[in-house]
Structure 1
């Protein structure tokens, strides 16, 4: 009869062994309830403020136009996040924080600061310019960065690198831009209503072209710099505390500078906007797009390089490193599972892929000496998750590997028996608590996985 794995015991910490009940504010439902209430109240207040500025008709027009780029931006960030996907609740939080909380902070703080500057100086025009080029970038980027910081602090295990920072930052900025576009487009529509649309070009059309067609990526581009800073900070783990603080602050400062340059482009003369757009915004957007794709491919390469150690230990099948290191093969595995065993099995395969990727990235950080103090525990948890889902995931991944791989590679995937020596990582011993593969004193079976295909009818 199988027993639960026997893991090394650790010396108790001071005060351990005393049952301590959490305070009421530490309960999970209390924290979730408070967060949902905060975001809901922020949403009601910001939407009411925007509707008051634009009028009901302008609000509806702005809402209909502002929503157009949102699905495309969310899809792009979700595509980037497919290697190690965040749970949907984290992405929903990020979007709602940007659209409601950050937008509310920005509109209140910007209005207060601009009015204070206007009353302190004799030139109201300079107050507007100073507010747009200095106050707004600082306030808005700080408000958006708060979402990245919260995910970094409270969802630390899922925040492992640059891609994670870019995704959370980009979706937060997408939500912020959505609310801001409602305000600008609704106000432009109101202006057209007052003037009767007698201008050469409709103000609404011009605003739509600049904000929705030309630069829907502007806010995500700025805030992504903050996300990259937090992603680099996450790579250092528990080490380099100064760098973990200074690098995110550097990313935030860069985001503010980019935002200030973009807002100030209108003051650079008749063609200042086009000059900044062509010489700065488009190259910066291209550079960050390249960085995102390169980092995504680097994560897949890490999966292919790090997981063979677990094949030798018997935790993974021989073909799995290749299948898990290819987005095409991963998609084929999920489709295969969905077709033969239904959506629940496909979801199990997707979670298997995510856990295996997290395991590879964790091992890479361990080999480089950047892992945290919970390295052994985290690796053990990920291996247990893989073991529990192996029966659903292995046939699908083997099918995907055979279908997606070139013929010479398929012949190299001979079955590997359990019990092979584990590949050590400097500074962490053999197998981080798993001296050998499953079945060697940990309650797991020693036989290889079943050869039959559970998807066969």
Structure 2
């Protein structure tokens, strides 16, 4: 990454409260920085030390990525048809509709949380859709397929019903389900670093995959519970299942898979293959342990016939809630960390003349971004789209540069930086052309 590619763009009309960018670097000779930044340099020679901006050879063409995504979605669509005919349809239309409606509640909570996490450094929508589809379709079918063989492999010759239930819940389900969900994260890493470039990206994609898996699994659980409620002639069984899975534990699967996503994201940020293997396996293993702890609680907790849920609720409050709050704290820290990273890296580009201090403040504040888009929207939809694209390109530029500083700059990273800087320049010119007055006052 380097900010010496070409020259900074010409000043464009700015939203209220924003100044046009200065032209040229400053503060490199040790003198006080007159440019007004409140962030110290992470590297006194940055960003010029990272080399030139010659486009790299062998760069993957855009159509290859789109072809891979298209093929993946076709395979997921075929898997969805198989899942519907062999799993959902035998449940009956009425039962499936009730279960589907009930499953929308927990998945809505997950999608709202993912939207809040992703809105600061937004990911491509097609990759987000792929992650959810993989969790809801691909990982479920692979779990059903490999789960049968794995269960037969771990089952003893003389197996009782209790032993079979225990092995299925505490061993087979955590191992197979977490492995199949994490396979979607591996696929995103193979297709390109731009999808998972940091720990928060890994958590976002892991949460979507886990949310999709939980959505399909909840449909099956709620349908089974609804059948039992119909057979017993009372709805208490169904509402108890809905309370446990839909209200108390909507983020259970998310918590398990997020650990693998967190490990892979940390390794991707540092561009280390060995670290990807170590942290990926470590996060996956820890997720399996937490999954087994969750499923195994039903086998070890004492059950009071007069209050069947009392023992579970005590365990839930004393064990699962602290674990969940710890994970929430980690995610909030990662969100604040991204803000600090963006401020530092965009300030480096600002010192080279690409952004003014006020623009950096606008780019790191969600409220200021909305104000800038609203200002651009007064000049038409195209102007608003240009402002939104400029913001996203600047955010991608800052996060990409942060990742490059951990590793070795390559021709591909320099070409990616040049591409982003050219997009920012084009967006500036577009916004300037659409917002400048035709007749001078």
| Partner residue in 2 for 1:304 | 343
Structure 2 counterpart SS, 1:86? coil
1:241-260 superposed matches below 5 A: 241-260=273-292
Closer/same/farther in 2, CA of residues 8 and 313 from structure 1, 3 Å limit: closer
Q: Distance in 2 between matches of 1:178 and 1:11?
A: 43
Matched, 1:352 2:390: yes
Q: How many matched pairs?
A: 384
For residue 358 of structure 1, report the CA deviation from its aligned partner: 2.0
Matched, 1:230 2:264: yes
| Partner residue in 2 for 1:189 | 226
- Contact 2:350-2:357 within 8 A present in 1 as well: yes
- TM-score by length of structure 2 reads 0.79
Structure 1: 5+ residue runs without aligned partners?
Answer: 17-21, 397-449
1:336-415 superposed matches below 5 A: 336-338=375-377, 340-369=378-407, 374-391=412-429
For residue 311 of structure 1, report the CA deviation from its aligned partner: 2.1
Structure 2: 5+ residue runs without aligned partners?
Answer: 8-50, 303-309
| Partner residue in 1 for 2:114 | 77
Q: Distance in 2 between matches of 1:41 and 1:78?
A: 28
| Partner residue in 1 for 2:24 | none
For residue 345 of structure 1, report the CA deviation from its aligned partner: 2.6
| Partner residue in 1 for 2:72 | 35
1:32-431 superposed matches below 5 A: 32-51=69-88, 54-114=91-151, 120-197=157-234, 202-237=236-271, 240-270=272-302, 273-338=312-377, 340-369=378-407, 374-391=412-429
Closer/same/farther in 2, CA of residues 112 and 241 from structure 1, 3 Å limit: closer
Deviation string, structure 1 residues 272-329 (Cα, Å, up to 9, x no partner): 5334422232122212222222211221122222222222322223411111111211
Closer/same/farther in 2, CA of residues 191 and 320 from structure 1, 3 Å limit: same
Deviation string, structure 1 residues 17-52 (Cα, Å, up to 9, x no partner): xxxxx9xxx956653442122101111222233335
- Contact 1:356-1:382 within 8 A present in 2 as well: yes
CA-based RMSD of the aligned residues comes to 3.1
Closer/same/farther in 2, CA of residues 120 and 90 from structure 1, 3 Å limit: same
Deviation string, structure 1 residues 334-379 (Cα, Å, up to 9, x no partner): 22222x1233332322221122122222333344446556332222
Greater RCO, 1 or 2 (C-alpha within 8 Å, sep 6+) = 2
- Contact 2:169-2:296 within 8 A present in 1 as well: yes
